[in-house]
Amino acid sequence: MNYIEEDQKYIWHPAQQMKDAEVFPPVFIDYANGPFLYDENGKEYIDIISSWWCNLLGHCHPEINEALKKQVDALEHVIFANFTHKPAIELCQELATLVPKGLTKFNFCDNGSSSVECALKMSFQYQHQKGETQRHLFMCLSESYHGETIGALSVGSMDLYAQLFKPMMMENIHFDGLDCYRCSYGKIRDTCDCECFESAEKAFETYGHETVAVIVEPILQGAAGMRIYPPEYLRRLRALADQYGVLLIDDEIAAGFGRTGTMFAIEHAGVCPDILCTSKGLTGGYLPMAIVCTTEEIYNAFYDDYGTHKAFVHSHTYAGNPLAASVATAVIKILKRDKILEQAQHTADYLTEKLNEALGHHTHVGEIRHIGLVHAIELVKDKQTKDAFPAEQRIGWHIFRKAMDRGLVLRPIGDVIYFNPPLNIDKDTLDKAIVLCKAAVEDVLGG
Ligand SMILES: Cc1ncc(COP(=O)(O)O)c(C=O)c1O
């Protein structure tokens, strides 16, 4: 069977122009192992982007596979309203040891966007049940991304995803800042005083009393191009939110589970959010699951007699799925037992050094920024002015194609190419990936 022909007959793939498949058909992946994917001819590709940032410990990890196989013979799924099971309970016991202190209650969803929807509704209902009925707005940061359902788009700021749908979206407050590479105050990420925070202060002055919650991607704005910003910004946001009675929603869907070097990225700032959303790495990239973690205070605002109608009436069919929960527990146990985060930090230091040696001096590499194992290379037309390439040149996309020819999955975000590998990737594989990445960049932009 010609699988590609059959694919094109039936399948509408996510987040791509399907016409591109005429020149760059989908790559048929047959099997996978660790950081490697293999096509039907056995050609190997290094999955340096962890398959959309979710594959945490490599593909087809034997222990995770085993946990899944064991669970599937016991209980594959059960309604989670009025029912419970061991995989979910065990997962919460483990998760409680990892999340910032203060987060003790866990509400299950089945993907990142749905957990953001859940967090928005939970915070809105909480404020109302506390009598704060004037609060109807949400705040978010420029170039933020929280998923692609309508509610999640409404608290995102990326026109690429949201522009067309604005008539369908909620009015929210977006404030500026966080493009540390092109800082409009002329400051440098590591030494600035978060001058851009004044935009948040102005927004709170005007809208703080009408605002339910502010939502933020902590430290790392992934979809914006792996933008990295100082923890001080989060400390100030926590303090400002407290001052105005606004809840802080911490979207750790991309940044959580060790991606930035700490278990959750907000730990860099040493503050606790009111609500934390986690997904992606939670199940090691195996199965769709998300969890909204929150405080006793929020939970208690919903806890009352049936007739008060204070219950949180929000559900997803696959909430708490036992297969996903057993896999997530296996992931956490491996993270703890093998001290994966410590290992990953050594690997990250190595990657920083080697990537800078390989590409730091390239004429079109504007910045190599990194946090944890996440390393992003921003490609620019002019290094001095930081001017971007014209979008229609699709530089990142051409590099992606060249890298695929060479055996590296380097799917870009515009002209930002990045490494966001499994946390247990070894140095030899990274060395290989760096060589392939450099070659693909040079294929398109010269030496
Ligand atoms: C920060 C952040 N929030 C939310 C989402 C949405 O998650 P999902 O794609 O599972 O709906 C993503 C996905 O990349 C994300 O990076």
pLDDT, tens digit, 9 for 90 and up, residues 68-114: 999 999 999 999 999 999 999 999 999 999 999 999 999 999 999 99
Q: How far is the CA of 5 from the centre of ligand 1 (A)?
A: 30
Instruction: Provide the sign of the torsion angle of the four alpha carbons 50, 53, 56, 60, taken in this order.
Output: negative
Q: Is the CB of 274 under 6 A from ligand 1?
A: no
* Closest ligand 1 atom to Cα of 144: 1
pLDDT (tens, 9 = 90+) of the chain, 447 residues, equals 899 999 999 999 999 999 999 999 999 999 999 999 999 999 999 999 999 999 999 999 999 999 999 999 999 999 999 999 999 999 999 999 999 999 999 999 999 999 999 999 999 999 999 999 999 999 999 999 999 999 999 999 888 888 999 999 999 999 987 899 999 999 999 999 999 999 999 999 999 999 999 999 999 999 999 999 999 999 999 999 999 999 999 999 999 999 999 999 999 999 999 999 999 999 999 999 999 999 999 999 999 999 999 999 999 999 999 999 999 999 999 999 999 999 999 999 999 999 999 999 999 999 999 999 999 999 999 999 999 999 999 999 999 999 999 999 999 999 999 999 999 999 999 999 999 999 999 999 998
Instruction: Show the CA angle centred on residue 286, arms to residues 280 and 289, nearest 5°.
Output: 50
366 dihedral zone (left: phi>0; alpha: psi -120 to 50; beta): alpha
Q: How far is the CA of 216 from the centre of ligand 1 (A)?
A: 12
Q: How far is the CA of 79 from the centre of ligand 1 (A)?
A: 25
Q: Is the CB of 223 under 6 A from ligand 1?
A: yes
Stated pTM of the model: 0.98
Q: Is the CB of 112 under 6 A from ligand 1?
A: yes
Q: Is the CB of 287 under 6 A from ligand 1?
A: no
Q: Which of 146, 226, 291 to mutate to test the pocket of ligand 1 (most atoms within 8 A of CB)?
A: 146
Separation of CA 362 from chain center: 28
Separation of CA 179 from chain center: 17
Beta 365-371 vs 374-379: how paired, if at all?
antiparallel
Neighbours of 373 (CB within 10 A): 25
Q: For 374-431, write each residue's pLDDT tens digit.
A: 999 999 999 999 999 999 999 999 999 999 999 999 999 999 999 999 999 999 999 9
Q: Is the CB of 254 under 6 A from ligand 1?
A: yes
Q: Is the CB of 279 under 6 A from ligand 1?
A: yes
Q: How far is the CA of 254 from the centre of ligand 1 (A)?
A: 6
What gap in Å lies between CA 33 and CA 347, rounded to an integer? 20
Q: Is the CB of 61 under 6 A from ligand 1?
A: no
Q: Is the CB of 366 under 6 A from ligand 1?
A: no
Take atom 8 of ligand 1 and give the residue whose Cα is closest.
Answer: 112
Q: Is the CB of 129 under 6 A from ligand 1?
A: no
What gap in Å lies between CA 148 and CA 108, rounded to an integer? 19
